[in-house]
Amino acid sequence: MAAASAASVHGVRGAPVGAPDSAASTDTGAEGVAEWTVPLLDGKPPPARGGQAGLLIGNLFIVFGGTFFKEKFRYLNDLWVVDTDSMQWHKPSAEGRAPSARYGHAAAVVGTSVYVFGGKGPGSSVHNDLHRLDVERWTWSLVPSTTAPPLGRFGHSMAAVGDKLVMFGGWDGSTMFNDLWVFDTAAASWVKPAVDGPPPSPRHGHSLLLAPAANRLVVWGGWAESPRGLPDYRSDGRALNPDTMTWERLRVTGERPTGRYWHSAGMVADRYMVVCGGWGASEMDASAKEAAAASQAAGVTGGASAAAGRTGLAARAAAAAAAAPRRSRSLWVLDTVERVWAQPVAAGRHLGVRYGQSLAVLGPFGLLFGGWDGVKSRADITQLDLTPVLGDVGSASIADDASAEAAAAEHGHQHAHAHDGDRDFSGGPAGAHDGGFGDEYGAGFGGEEGDYADGDYAQ
C-alpha cells in the first residue's frame, strides 16, 4: 500500500485528475494565505451525512457510517473510499459483517487496519463494540476482548499510539465521560490505565490527536455540561504525556478558538493541530450573520430563493467577497510544541458553518467531507491548502503575523443547530479494568504506523 505522503497524493495538489473547480477557486498566489478549493472527483459520491468516521490510510480516504435527517434520523453503515491518487470515489465490497448503522463512533488506523469503536444507532442503542476493517483484504471482523470493554458511548475520540488504541470521553445520552481507555491490538485487551494530573472535564464531540513532535496526546474542545445542565462549549485543552501517563493543562498563547464541538481536527507534520469547523455559540450567531451579509452583498432583499437566482455583476461581487482572503472562524492551527494558536488568513470557498464533518490530512493538505451546516447534511468535499502558511511543512512558523495580513490586503480581492441525535439513549454493558499504559505498553510512539439503515438518503 502506498505511503501517505505529499508525493503519493498528487491528485490533491491539483493535477489534471482532481484539479480544483475553477469556478469555486481563487488562485491567490499570496504568501501566507491558505486556500479553500473544491476538487473535482470522479465516480459516484456517497449520500449526504454527518457524524461519520473518516480517516486516511495510505493513499485512501476512508469514510464509514454517519446519519442524516429525512422525516426522522436515519443511520448508515456504508463504506466509501476516495483514492487520493486518482481523486475518485469508490464503494468497496467488503466481506464479513460490517458494524451496525451508527454515528458518533471513533476510528483509528493501526498498520493496514481501521478500528471502529462505539457510536449511536437507531432508537436507544449505544454501542461498545470494536470492529476491524482489513484494508488489504477488504474484510470486516468483530474484535473480541479478553477483558471487559468500556461502556457504550458516542462522541468519543480515539487515536493510535503504535499498536495501541487510546480512547477518551464520550456520552451515552445521560452520562458524560472523561475516562481514558487503551486497547492493545496485539493482546486483544482493554485496559483502563492509572493516570496522574487533572484530566479533561467530561465531554463529547471533542478531538484527540497524537502530536509526536510534542510527545503528547492532545484533547481539545467538546461539549460539556454546565452545573445547570446547559451546553458548555469548551475551548480548553489537556495534554497527556504517554511516558509518565500524566495529564497537564494545555497552556497556550495567542487568541484561541471559541468553544465548540463536533469540529474536525488533524495533525500536520506531527506538530501542527489543524481545527476546522465545529458548533458553538458563535456559530449560532454566525449562521444568521453570514446569511444576511451574503444577501446584502448581492443586493438581495427577497430571501434565499432570490439570492440563488441572482446573476450578473452583483452576484459576481458577492461570490468574490465570499472567496476573498480573510480570517475564517472555521480554521485554526495550534503549534503543539510552542503551544501557540494562530488563525490563518484563507481565501477561496470558505467552509462556513460546518460540524460533524471528517478531515483527512495529507502533508500540508486537508480534505474535508460531509457534516451538517445547521440546515442539512452535506456530501461535498472541500480541500484546504496550508502550504503558503506552513511553507516547508514542519519548519515554518504559523504565527499570526503582520505579513499574512498584508498579503491578504494586497491581494484584495457560511443556521440553527439542527442535530445532536434523538435524546433517548441507554448505556452499554459496564466494564472497567485498571492497569498501566506507560511501562506496560512501552513508552513513546514506537510501533507501526454494506447496507444502509432506514432506506432513503438526504438529498
- Which tens digits make up the pLDDT trace of 342-363? 998 888 887 778 999 999 999 9
11, pLDDT greater than 90: no
Give 9 or 304, the one with higher predicted confidence.
Answer: 304
For residue 400, what pLDDT is reported? 36
* Mean pLDDT value across residues 414-423: 34
191, pLDDT greater than 90: yes
Nine-digit cell string for 440: 506496560
447, pLDDT greater than 60: no
Domain range annotation of the chain: 7-441
What share of the chain in percent tops pLDDT 90? 59
Q: Check if the beta carbon of residue 172 is closer than 8 Å to that of residue 165.
A: no
- Which tens digits make up the pLDDT trace of 196-220? 999 999 999 999 999 999 999 999 9
Q: Answer whether 0.85 is exceeded by the pTM.
A: no
**CA-CA-CA-CA torsion sign (371, 377, 379, 384):** negative
For residue 73, what pLDDT is reported? 87
Q: Which CATH class name applies to 7-441?
A: mainly beta
Round to whole Å and give the CA distance between 222 and 339: 19
For residue 315, what pLDDT is reported? 54
* Mean pLDDT value across residues 36-46: 95
- Which tens digits make up the pLDDT trace of 63-84? 999 999 888 889 999 999 999 9
For residue 31, what pLDDT is reported? 52
246, pLDDT greater than 80: yes
For residue 151, what pLDDT is reported? 99
277, pLDDT greater than 80: yes
If phi over 0 gives left and psi between -120 and 50 gives alpha, with beta otherwise, what is residue 407? alpha
Backbone angles phi, psi at 286, to 5 degrees: -65, -35
